[in-house]
Amino acid sequence: MINKQEKLAVANFKMNLSASYELKHWLTNFLKAKQKARLEETKLVLCPQITYLDQFAKKIKSRQVEFGAQDCFWEQKGAFTGAVSPATLYSGGAQYVILGHSERRKYFGETDEIVAVKIEAALKASLQPIVCIGENAQEKRTGSSLRVIDQQLKKCLKDIGRGRIEKIVICYEPVWAISSNDPDHLPEMNEIMEAKLLIRKILTDQYDRRMAEKVRIIYGGSVDNKNANEVCVEPGMDGALIGKASLAPYDLIKIAEIIDGQ
Ligand code: PGA
C-alpha cells in the first residue's frame, strides 16, 4: 500500500551471499538485529538473488519488512529461456523490483527504453518498480548530471499514466558514487537536493503536484551508517538503496533507523 509517510531502506544484495553458509549467517544475524530495531515509518525492502526470495519470505515475517527482486523480464510468461517473470516474482513473495540499475545497464545492455517496458510489466504484475537513474563519472565531469537525470526519467516514465505513477519509487543513484566504483567522495547535500527537486519538478509537470508528492525519491551510492544522515536525511530523501552495507545486517538496520529518524 502506498503511504507517503513510509520511507524505504532497500537492500540490494547484488550477486552476493552466494554460499549457503553466508546466507545462513546473514539471516541469523538479521533476525537478531531486527528484534531490537525501532522503526516507525520506514520499511526494509530486502532484494536478494531470486533463488533466495522464497527462503527470505518464509524466514522473515515482519510488518516492517518486504521483499524485492533486482530485475525482471518484460513479459509475464512464455518462451524466454533464462528470463524471470514479474508475475513469478510476485507470487514468490516480492512486492518490489529494482529496474534500470547501472550494473544492468553496463553488463546487460539495458537502455531507458527497455526499463520503460519493464516498468510496465512490473506494474501489471502488481510489483512496485524502484527505478534507478543517475549520471556516470564522465557525465558528472562534463556538468551534464541534471540533463542525464532529466532524459532518463522522462524516457523511463514515458508510458506511465497518472493513475500508476504513485506506485513507482525513483532512486537517484549517481553511478560514480556506487561503492564498487571506488568513489573518493560522495555527492554534496546540495547536489542530492538539486537532483531530487528536478525529479519532483519533472513529475509535477508530467502529472500534477499532488501525484508528484506521492512518489518516493530515494538516494543510492555508498550509503553506510556513518553517512546516511548526510546523504539521505538532510537532503530530505524518502529512503536509500543500500548495496555493500546491506551485507552486514546490523549496519543495514542502523541505516534504516537513521532514515526513520531514530
Ligand atoms: P553501494 O551499492 O551501496 O555498495 O554503493 C548501491 C547500489 O549499487 O545499488
Distance 242 CA to ligand 1 centre (A): 5
Q: Is the CB of 221 under 6 A from ligand 1?
A: yes
Q: What is the pLDDT along the chain (262 residues), one digit of tens a residue?
A: 444 569 999 999 999 999 999 999 999 999 999 998 989 999 999 999 999 999 999 999 999 999 999 999 999 999 999 999 999 999 999 999 999 999 999 999 999 999 999 999 999 999 999 999 999 999 999 999 999 999 999 999 999 988 899 999 999 999 999 999 999 999 999 999 999 999 999 999 999 999 999 999 999 999 999 999 999 999 999 999 999 999 999 999 999 999 999 7
Cα 30 to Cα 17, 59, 71, 223, 254: the distances in Å are 13, 11, 23, 18, 11
- pLDDT at residue 75, as a whole number: 98
User: 101 and 71 in contact (C-beta within 8 Å)?
Assistant: yes
State whether residue 98 is helix, strand or coil: strand
Is the pTM value of this prediction over 0.95? Answer: yes
Candidates 93, 108, 99; CA nearest to 51 is: 93
- pLDDT at residue 226, as a whole number: 98
Candidates 67, 47, 52, 171; CA nearest to 119 is: 171
Which ligand 1 atom is nearest residue 179's CA? 5
